[in-house]
């Protein structure tokens, strides 16, 4: 059984590997999509929760007028430190904060944005309630979630590749957390429990995940996400073995040169 805190722990070298490998591999196209959706609403103030290493923040900073107040938060200070070290095209307020207990007054923001973060919230209705609380009337909560793991080919391949290494207790982080919140009925029920009365607008968006070699997605997933914590909890000496197994499986399925796999996510927009 994996402790919930381990699923949310992005520490050590994970933030640097996440930024170097995972951001260009899977996050960039969806960051551009979210930033464009926010910009269309012409907000005067935006809060980003679970900002990670700042891929969406950088897009928002470039897309929104300098007069728009932009606050980016994350539970993990190490991720914010990495984001701040990369920097943005204009000033952003970086702030450590728990999405389930936001340190902002009621009705502060025109938009609350979250890229692939809600899956990590232990109490999702509470986090949704907080997002609604800090939104102004007519403001929008805009977030995305990964589709099920079978629609995300590299993540699925990595998950299957690790099963023979740990047959009694295979690491299931990718299927359980990042790809474990794809059911629209569940979102709708939990958004309603969080106080949102309107129906969400949902878009399913397919994109491509590309890398120069199978090693890149293997390192990205095995060493740049909390999947690493699961692997090392089972046997800290086997992290490189796990990474090599993932790379071999990706190479066998997608080729041993440049690789290209499907990724798919849902974008949810709901107004206060």
Q: Which pLDDT value is given to residue 73? A: 98
Q: How far apart are CA 110 and CA 233, in angstroms?
A: 42
Percent above pLDDT 70 for the chain: 96
4-271 maps to CATH 3.40.50.150: yes
Round to the nearest angstrom and report the end-to-end CA distance of the chain. Answer: 37
Beta bridge partners of 263: 207
What pLDDT, on a 0 to 100 scale, did the predictor assign at position 112?
98
For residue 62 the two structure tokens come to: 């470039």
Which position has the higher pLDDT, 192 or 1?
A: 192
Phi, psi of 157 (to 5 degrees): -65, -40
- CA torsion 56-28-128-82 (nearest 10°) is -50
CA atoms within 13 A on the CB side of 105: 2
Reported as a pLDDT band with limits 50, 70 and 90, residue 11 is low
- Is 2 a residue whose pLDDT tops 80? no
4 has pLDDT over 50:
no
DSSP 237: G
- Would you say residue 9 has pLDDT above 70? no
Q: Which two tokens stand for residue 50?
A: 């679970």
Average pLDDT over residues 201-223: 97
- What is the average pLDDT across 92-102? 97
DSSP string for 76-103: -HHHHHHHHHH--SS--EEEE-BTTB--
Residue 10's pLDDT band (cuts 50, 70, 90)? low
| Stretch (H or E) spanning 15 | helix 14-17
55-82 tens-digit pLDDT? 999 999 999 999 999 999 999 999 999 9
Q: What's residue 252's pLDDT?
A: 98
- In angstroms, rounded to a whole number, what is the distance separating the alpha carbons of residues 135 and 271? 9
Q: What is the pLDDT of residues 226-268, one digit of tens each?
A: 999 999 999 999 999 999 999 999 999 999 999 999 999 999 9
User: Which is nearest to 226 in space by CA: 2, 1, 50, 7?
Assistant: 7
Distance CA(135)–CA(108), nearest Å, equals 6
Residue corresponding to tokens 């430190």: 81
Q: Where are the domains of the chain?
A: 4-271
What 3-state class would DSSP assign to 122?
Answer: coil
- Looking only at the bridges linking them, the beta strands covering 93-96 and 259-271 are unpaired
Structure tokens given for 20: 């170097």
Report the distance separating Cα 44 and Cα 138, nearest Å. Answer: 13
d(Cα 20, Cα 216) in Å, to the nearest integer?
A: 10
Q: Tell me the C-alpha distance between 238 and 80, whole Å.
A: 29
Of residues 24, 70, 72, the one with CA closest to residue 52: 72
Over residues 52-57, mean pLDDT: 96
Per-residue pLDDT at 151 = 98
Task: Tell me the mean pLDDT in the region 158-186.
Answer: 96
Of the candidate ranges 11-25, 121-135, 156-170, the one whose mean pLDDT is the lowest: 11-25
Residue-wise pLDDT for 22-40, tens only, equals: 999 999 999 999 999 999 9
Distance CA(169)–CA(44), nearest Å, equals 49
Mean pLDDT of 94-114: 98
Percentage, residues of the chain above pLDDT 90: 93
Looking at per-residue pLDDT, the higher value among 55 and 4 belongs to 55
pLDDT score recorded for residue 41:
97
């Amino acid at each position: 059984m994996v402790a919930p805190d381990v699923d949310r722990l992005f520490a050590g070298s994970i933030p640097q590997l996440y930024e170097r490998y995972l951001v260009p591999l899977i996050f960039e196209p969806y960051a551009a999509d979210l930033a464009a959706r926010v910009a269309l609403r012409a907000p005067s103030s935006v809060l980003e929760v679970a900002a990670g290493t700042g891929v969406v923040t950088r897009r928002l900073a470039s897309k929104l007028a300098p007069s728009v107040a932009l606050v980016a938060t994350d539970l993990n200070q190490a991720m914010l430190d990495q984001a701040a070290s990369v920097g943005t095209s204009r000033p952003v307020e970086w702030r450590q904060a728990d999405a389930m207990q936001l340190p902002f007054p009621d009705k502060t923001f025109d938009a609350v944005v979250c890229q692939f973060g809600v899956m990590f919230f232990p109490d999702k209705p509470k986090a949704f309630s907080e997002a609604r609380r800090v939104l102004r009337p007519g403001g929008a909560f805009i977030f995305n979630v990964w589709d099920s793991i079978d629609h995300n080919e590299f993540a699925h391949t990595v998950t299957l590749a690790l099963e023979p290494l740990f047959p009694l207790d295979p690491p299931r982080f990718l299927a359980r957390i990042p790809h474990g919140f794809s059911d629209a009925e569940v979102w709708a029920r939990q958004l309603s429990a969080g106080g949102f009365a309107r129906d969400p607008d949902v878009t399913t968006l397919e994109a491509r995940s590309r890398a120069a070699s199978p090693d890149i997605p293997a390192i990205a997933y095995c060493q740049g996400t909390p999947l690493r914590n699961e692997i090392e909890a089972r046997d800290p000496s086997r992290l490189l073995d796990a990474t090599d197994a993932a790379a071999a499986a990706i190479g066998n399925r997608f080729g041993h040169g440049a690789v290209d796999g499907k990724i798919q996510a849902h974008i949810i927009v709901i107004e206060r």
